[in-house]
Structure 1
């Protein structure tokens, strides 16, 4: 690995292409609990409590809604809430909405899974304290997909009203379908500078990578199939995810490494953009 990312990197806004902007705004406000921050004719930004945007939506004309697991691209983006009570309140609201809810206890976290009207996957989760995260014998983070404590989460929410996602909510991680796991590892680890958080799921076609010892900032999987094609430009789905670097020096190091690896880097709108071999675009900014 030529570089290692600073441990204090974060993820920023995720931008999605959607087929019906008003419908998506309603969904992300009423079901997910985000707040509309700004809206134009074909775009909208949402966040929490006056924060910077966590989610940007762009309506695409004649957008194609792809069948699940038919292309590389977004598997889900993950909204990290600050407390277990916040997750319990979110669960209660999801139940009341009637939406289908997936769930898993990952040992390091408790997670709820839904999807928006365009089949964009969404995880809403809370982390356990780092000192409670189990480790494999090699020191890597140990994760599982055990049943969640549904009743315990709902008990956390008792006596409190749902008021949307609270202050302190952030984008915790992103998870992608890719066409080639080795190529994705070379791109995100060997070039960008993420480290392997756990490769214990490789036999299931998945790899989890992170900076600063986190359980994962990015998940990568082959669950759309080896060689899965990139999504077409007019498909609903991911437009980009954002990696927030610690300063201009780190941004220069990462962009230089990408260019040296033959990856085009485009500078526009105060950010740098690079796209991997699976068609997934990363937006690079500084804190």
Structure 2
């Protein structure tokens, strides 16, 4: 397990999506991405890599509407693979099924990009060793360079596709937001994250424990972008896992101190960022 995704850090645990057609989405997430179904009802399903931990839930709401353009919400959720050879294996799998996908070398990681049938963005990546990351004045160096597929695939044998490795985790989430000033206050002063990279004036990358980012935030859908409608395809919510009750209680108190409403729901606290992205705070 990545040290950046366990105590004493705070990280994304589970992403909850709304889809138009549950059966179509399930087929994609099982056959293309390689998830296993942990639980399923007529309108929803919980998906896992290890057979016990839910990483993604998908739900088909009543009167569901297609994804709206130029709104706040999900840019992508990102699945972190344990090794570079795991990334190579999924590249071979995508090639074998004729899937088109994007890719990038971010210096801190190597990543693949695609979308589900509803347009929900997905990143699948592997991290380089933290000793290889470069930091300048408290900011981690990241880029959008071409991925070297020849080097990635060299020496990797073709083998049967067996789905996501059991140690796959939710590495990070990247969100469309309507602006960055109040957003930064919410995530830094409220939730307790630290800015580790400013991508011009249009994006922020934040983390705990000096990870390259647990959350990305951008205004690429336009400053002032509206929230999507309640029944629209897209992000329903995501969870943040705090290392202990004290850390979560501090976050709740900090949010309330800056005027952000927080409600208690079962064993979680629920809140929304200034752009309407809903977050459940767990331990």
TM-score w.r.t. the length of structure 2 is: 0.94
Corresponding residue for 1:211? 208
Q: Structure 1 unaligned runs (5+)? A: 1-5
Distance 1:162 1:211 in 2: 34
Larger displacement relative to structure 2 (142-151 or 95-104)? 95-104
Name 1:90's counterpart in structure 2.
90
> Which deviations, in whole Å up to 9, do the C-alpha atoms of 1:139-172 show, x marking residues without a partner?
3100000000112223354243211110210000
Structure 2 match to 1:81: 81
1:178 aligns with 2:170: no
2:12 is the counterpart of 1:11: yes
Cross-structure match for 1:3: none
Verify the 8 A CA contact 1:65 1:119 in the aligned structure 2. Answer: no
The whole-number CA distance in structure 1 between the counterparts of 2:125 and 2:172 is: 10
Q: Would you say 1:23 and 2:24 are equivalent positions?
A: yes
> What is the TM-score with the length of structure 1 in the denominator?
0.93
Match of 1:241 in 2: 238
Cα distance in structure 1, aligned partners of 2:87 and 2:67: 29
Q: Tell whether the 8 Å contact from 1:77 to 1:175 is kept in structure 2 after alignment.
A: yes
The 5 Å alignment of 1:241-280 reads 241-280=238-277
Match of 2:4 in 1: none
CA apart distance, 1:256:
1.4
CA contact (8 A) 1:92 1:157 kept: no
Q: Deviations over 1:205-241 (max 9, x none)?
A: 1110100000000101010000000111011000111
The whole-number CA distance in structure 2 between the counterparts of 1:67 and 1:41 is 25
Give the aligned length.
277
Partner of 1:144: 143
Off by >6 Å, runs of 4+ in structure 1: none
How far apart in 2 are the matches of 1:197 and 1:7? 17
Q: Which residue of structure 2 aligns with residue 47 of structure 1? A: 48
**Aligned partners of 1:266 and 1:272 also within 8 Å:** yes
In the alignment, what sits opposite 1:202? 200
C-alpha separation between the residues in 2 aligned to 1:262 and 1:77?
A: 28
Q: What is the alpha-carbon root mean square deviation over aligned residues?
A: 1.4
Measure how far apart 1:257 and its partner are: 1.3
Match of residue 65 from structure 1: 66
1:272 CA drift (Å): 1.2
